[in-house]
């Protein structure tokens, strides 16, 4: 009986990991769509279309704008690289991590900070502090560059 339970639990965990990865991809694709609507339509048409998209998806306009901001800063190839790292429960970075990484203007800073987040299992708030420090001081986004020992479960 126990081997069957472990096998079933393993299959469920695999499905959850794939669902988490799909969630990241879906948010990114939705952000790309919002971005296109914002910049390929008149202001009035874009707002109307984005409002309809929000109603259809059940997401607030602010949420859709944040998704679009991520896609404006992080191109598809870079997004793929960021989300490739996987742990036992799916992608190592959450959407909140990716939103924080999008705050960095430099691709190199985002890359280094994403690696640090994955390798050190950084919380979102610890990553936020690293991104800010790395963006303003042009440092390597590595442990010890700021006081990031306080971690939360974000």
Tens digits of per-residue pLDDT, 95-129?
999 999 999 999 999 999 999 999 888 999 999 99
* Mean local confidence (pLDDT), 62-74: 96
How far apart (Å, rounded) are the C-alpha atoms in residues 75 and 92? Answer: 19
Q: Taking the domains of the chain in order of start, what are their residue ranges?
A: 2-137
DSSP conformational letter for 41? S
Please give the model's pTM, rounded to 2 decimal places.
0.82
What pLDDT is attached to residue 112? 92
What pLDDT is attached to residue 142? 61
Q: In the predicted model, what is the mean pLDDT of the chain?
A: 86
* Mean local confidence (pLDDT), 29-43: 90
Residue 137 has pLDDT above 70, yes or no: no
Which fold is adopted by the domain 2-137? Answer: Arc Repressor Mutant, subunit A (1.10.10)
How far apart (Å, rounded) are the C-alpha atoms in residues 55 and 46? Answer: 14
Residue among 1, 58, 53 nearest 30 (CA): 53
- Return the H-helix or E-strand segment holding 34: helix 2-40
């Amino acid at each position: 009986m126990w081997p069957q339970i472990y096998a079933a639990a393993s299959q469920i965990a695999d499905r959850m990991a794939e669902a988490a990865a799909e969630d990241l991809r879906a948010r990114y694709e939705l952000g790309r769509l919002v971005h296109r609507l914002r910049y390929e339509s008149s202001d009035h048409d874009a707002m109307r279309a984005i409002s309809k998209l929000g109603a259809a998806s059940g997401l607030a306009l602010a949420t859709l704008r944040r998704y679009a901001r991520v896609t404006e800063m992080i191109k598809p190839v870079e997004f793929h690289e960021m989300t490739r790292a996987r742990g036992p429960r799916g992608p190592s970075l959450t959407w909140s991590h990716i939103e924080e990484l999008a705050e960095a203007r430099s691709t190199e800073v985002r890359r280094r900070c994403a690696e640090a987040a994955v390798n050190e299992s950084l919380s979102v708030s610890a990553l936020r502090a690293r991104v800010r420090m790395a963006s303003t001081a042009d440092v390597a986004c590595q442990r010890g560059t700021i006081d990031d020992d306080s971690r939360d479960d974000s």
